[in-house]
Chains A and B, each alone.
Chain A
Amino acid sequence: MMHPSDEPLWDVVEVSKAYPGVLANDRVSIRLMPGRIHGLLGENGCGKSTLIRLLSGVDRPDSGEIRLRGRPVALTSPTGARELGVSTVFQEFSIVPSLTVAENVFLGRWPRRALGLIDWETMRRRSGEVLAELDIALDPDAITSTLSVAQQQLIEIAKAVAADAQLIILDEPTTALGLDEIAQLHRLLRRMRDKGHAILYVSHRLDEVTALVDEVTIMRGGRVVSAAGKTAVEVDAIVSAMIGGDVREHYPKERNARPQTILRVTGIGSARGVRDVSFTLRAGEVLGLGGVLGSGRTEIARALFGLDPLTAGSLEIEGRRLRISGPSDAIRAGLALVTENRKTDGLFFNFDGRANISSASLPRYSTFGFLSLRREDAEAASLARQLELSRGAEDKSVRHLSGGNQQKIVIARWLLSQARVLILDEPTQGIDIGAKLAVYRLINRLTAEGCAILLISSDHDELLAMSDRIAVVRQGTIADIRAPEDLTHADLVRAATTEIPTEGRTAA
């Protein structure tokens, strides 16, 4: 093991970067030491991403200096940054699904033989060595698209190691991972740290950050508000530095459950592996669905919302038996689904905020096919005010909004559609603390109005705090429903992992 030296590997000194209308980084300084895992935290729009873009050569700073081992360097392109030993794992992976693991590990730098032909033997051997060194159990010949998201992420890291990167930057690496996978990633990162790599780790999951990092830098409004060494690596200190105040109530849970049943699900099944799921949901109640990735929670949501046809069982909303043959029937019956990934199947990036909010309510605004634009405008604007969307969000393309505001837009869509039962699939994933609190308050408001909520979350603290009851999902069915008081964090982990789920994680 190398000893952490006092000499920073990368020293970012007072860099500033402006984008149209916003000073994204304002004299930001950060020192990345070899052999240390450095956490970078802050709310959405605080300038973290900009800093990463500067360090990985995607953008160039307007002023300030970036030094490698004390020498000022210019990071003029992503290729240039890679040559200087910086490897960045972005949220959107840069691996090619149709290629093998080995081909991806050496993507673009395949070992060559004479005449420029690829030296397959060397490539397979060396990628095997890299994977073995990292203790990653993957077959170099496996086709990448057959692997789980977590395994693909490990390939990204193997790629960094194969490229001999001294600095590895990870941007929200665990959003798509299950518990075991997160643990495996953390083990891998610790090992790399011990070998002397510098690691810059960006995440919203505070529990995870405090468990992993050696030091943290916190940003707010484009500036560093707490430099490494000044903040204790513990949740409360980080939260208050991030949002710039004291957070007394992390989870503002209100209990609004009423006696009357609003949704009754009896023995439903679907071709996607949902089997014999039964539960009831009362007005104002939050029913949490706990379980690991691939346990079938999202599939239950899909079946309820009419995306996958039911192969068995029935649904009743407010006593009326439902026939759902697609999302439009579900929406008409008062169901809503906020999906896990707002970027791929939530938002219309060609629309402004207003049209995004109204997209599930078009039937209500149309008479003989003509839309009442004035009513649409008025109601969307009033919702935007209620949800404290950033000013002018209705008129802006949603691509220019922060993650938190985008999430509010998606939820606003279902408030406008007058949903009675909302299915929220990982509603706070990838949004900052301030926006998370806004989502929790929104859950309270909805339940106070009598809506019922089915909450799917992999954040166990959130699930325990915000649910009135928790159903543990395992292999497509509900194994157990209990009150959160009768469950602990540890119970959930245990309940989810007692039977090792097979879906999506068998190594190829």
Chain B
Amino acid sequence: MKRIFDAQLLGPLAAMGLVTLVVALTTDRFLDPGNLSNLALQVSIVSLVAIGATVVIFTGGIDLSSGSMVALLTMVLATLVKSMGVPLWPALAGVLLLGALLGALNGVLTAFLRIPSFIVTLAGLIAYRGLALMFNAGSPIFSLDPHLEPVFYGRLLGIPLPFYYLVLFYGAATVMMNNTRLGREFYAVGGNPAAAKLSGINVRRVQTWAFAIAGLMTAVGAILMAARLNSGSPNYGQTLELQAIAAAVVGGASLAGGRGNILSTLVGALTIVIVQNGLNLNAAPSAVQNVILGLIILVAVGFDMWRSEIARIVGGRAARRTEARRGA
């Protein structure tokens, strides 16, 4: 079925293709299987957190709290497993639930108490990191559980597990956005909240759901972060929220809400990571990497903003050509 949302995937895909081509041509080791699987590991955490960030952006909000929430959740997980002796699997379930609840709290403050999401989650960005520091006197907790590391490093049929998480969660998110009532309501609320209300959509409930999903995906990111280093730390997830938002934006999600394709966010995250990877392999200093990342975000948003102008210029020529042909 043809949906307007599909066309929005093409631009980001083309951009990623271009970036990949450039990096592949200029960097010998880029296409090594080792490097590619490393790339999948690198992109996985940001991409999963970015699902939530994107859903919130679709509804016209923003979530700045996910990076700090990752730190808090890894410390909660570490404390549960290490100090309180909770078995690993129930502890993981608890962390997922807590993430969803903290996200829902962001949503309630935004939707029902009408505090702008930028402010609510900015407060979260500051406060959650503070809360994380209250555990274990602010020190990281190491060697959590021998079964935790395989959650990140494990392989199935020779392919790293994070690859499967990406397929699973992006598949589910795509189905949610395109095939469920809630997904449609996310777009409706982001596109025109007044019209959504008049259509009988419970705008506040929908906004709260978006933040709850963001919290859940942040918890997924936190678990993978803890598994990657088998530890919890109040310093994890610094600027993760900004990377997640960058992935959404490079993927073409409109910060005004209502527009974008969830799969594009994965493409956006991949684009960023491929550029970083290429710079790494060419031994570019991290300062340069940051400057380039900033430029990518500017260009991506610029393209989005100028899209109508670009279309007008290109389309205008086409229309004149058609007209000329008709006249001839």
Contact = CB atoms under 8 A, between A and B. Distances in A.
Given A360-B199, A413-B199, A347 B192 contact: yes
Interface of B: 1-4, 178-182, 184-185, 187-188, 190-192, 194-202, 257-259, 311-312, 315-316, 318-320, 322-323
Contacts of A370: 179-181
Interface of A: 18-23, 62, 305, 307, 326-328, 330-332, 337, 339, 344-352, 355, 359-360, 362-363, 365-366, 369-371, 373-374, 377, 395, 397, 413
Contact of A21 (B3, B258, B319): B319
B313 to A, nearest CB: 10
A27 to B, nearest CB: 12
B179 A373 contact: yes
Given A347-B192, A349-B191, A377-B1, A369 B319 contact: no
Contacts of A374: 1
A360 B179 contact: no
- 6 nearest CB pairs, A to B: A20-B315, A350-B258, A350-B191, A345-B194, A328-B200, A366-B181
B311 A351 contact: no
Nearest to A347: B195
B17 to A, nearest CB: 26
Interface centre among A347, A363, A371 (most CB of B within 10 A): A371
A23 B1 CA distance: 31
A20 B195 contact: no
A345 B195 contact: yes
Given A328-B201, A331-B199, A365-B181, 17 more contacts: A19-B319, A20-B315, A20-B319, A327-B200, A332-B200, A345-B192, A347-B195, A348-B195, A350-B259, A351-B188, A359-B188, A359-B195, A360-B198, A362-B181, A362-B199, A366-B180, A371-B179
Contacts of A413: 199
Contacts of B198: 305, 307, 327, 337, 339, 345-346, 360
Contacts of A397: 4
Nearest to B322: A21
Contacts of B258: 348-350
A330 B311 CA distance: 42
A349 B192 CA distance: 8
A330 B200 CA distance: 8
Interface of A (DSSP majority class): mixed
A373 B312 CA distance: 32
Contacts of A371: 179-181, 184
A108 B319 CA distance: 36
A214 B3 CA distance: 49
A18 B180 contact: no
Contacts of B2: 395
Interface centre among B188, B257, B312 (most CB of A within 10 A): B188
Contacts of A366: 180-181
Nearest to B313: A20
Contacts of A332: 200
B184 A21 contact: no
B316 A350 contact: no
A395 B3 CA distance: 8
Nearest to B254: A350
Contact of A359 (B4, B196, B318): B196
B181 A21 contact: no
A395 B6 CA distance: 12
A346 B197 CA distance: 10
A328 B255 CA distance: 28
5 contacts: A21-B322, A305-B198, A346-B198, A370-B179, A413-B199
Contacts of A365: 181
B179 A362 contact: no
A348 B184 contact: no
B179 A350 contact: no
A341 to B, nearest CB: 9
A346 B322 CA distance: 34
A18 B188 contact: no
B315 A21 contact: yes
Nearest to B260: A350
Contact of B318 (A20, A331, A395): A20
A18 B178 CA distance: 35
Nearest to B193: A345
A307 B195 CA distance: 12
Given A362-B184, A377-B1, A395-B2, A18 B319 contact: yes
B194 A373 contact: no
Contacts of A346: 195, 198
Contacts of A362: 181, 184-185, 199, 201
A359 B198 CA distance: 10
Nearest to A306: B200
Contacts of B185: 362
A326 B179 contact: no
A384 to B, nearest CB: 15
Given A327-B198, A362-B185, A20 B312 contact: yes
A347 B196 CA distance: 9
Nearest to A62: B320
Contacts of A345: 192, 194-195, 197-198
B191 A348 contact: yes
A350 B252 CA distance: 14
Given A344-B194, A350-B190, A359 B180 contact: no
